[in-house]
Structure 1
Amino acid sequence: MNTLETDVEISADGSLKLLSPLPDWLKPGRMHLLLSVPNGATSRAKRVMPSATPEMLAKRAEALAGLRAMGGLKDVIPDPAAWQREAREDVILPDQK
């Protein structure tokens, strides 16, 4: 029996993807596989950055142009920095005043 040690990516649909090339002795086709997971193991999900299509970029540009034409969000968000601090629930430390 041969042993293969590799990292796999587990998708939301339950499928597995090997993250390293297959060794020469492993032939294409179906096989029975025993997968053992160490106790306390957690998945280390890699962040996948989605790529924007030209259509998406055009829609974004159009939306921003429309927002500029309306005069922006000054009437909704008069102080953007304060709004960001409030949204993040920042705590102002005594030495930052």
Structure 2
Amino acid sequence: MTPLYEGKAKRLWATEDPNVLRMEFKNDATAFNGEKKAQFEDKGRLNNAISTLIYGFLEKEGVPTHFVRQIDDTNVEVKKVEILMVEVIIRNLSAGS
């Protein structure tokens, strides 16, 4: 497979289907705009499991997603889409920027 993109939390790979990509969840974590980096065992597996649950819930409620199927513990297949550049940071408490 051909690597297409690598970000902070995921890698994207081309597949045999030009409309489907493989998305791999990494164990990498960053903080402070990338100044601090670390690896956490099972982070990719947990992020994949949570994302798969959320995609399934959204699809069940009639909200279309790019999710196709889970391949294994850290990989899913997703539809190739045009990216809308939005970043969301979730904190478990109210905080300013």
TM-score strictly above 0.5: no
TM-score bracket for this pair, using the shorter chain length? under 0.3
Give the TM-score taking structure 2 as reference length: 0.23
Give the TM-score taking structure 1 as reference length: 0.23
Bigger helix share: 1
Structure of greater Rg:
1
- Structure number with greater CO (CA < 8 Å, separation at least 6) is 2
Bigger strand share: 2
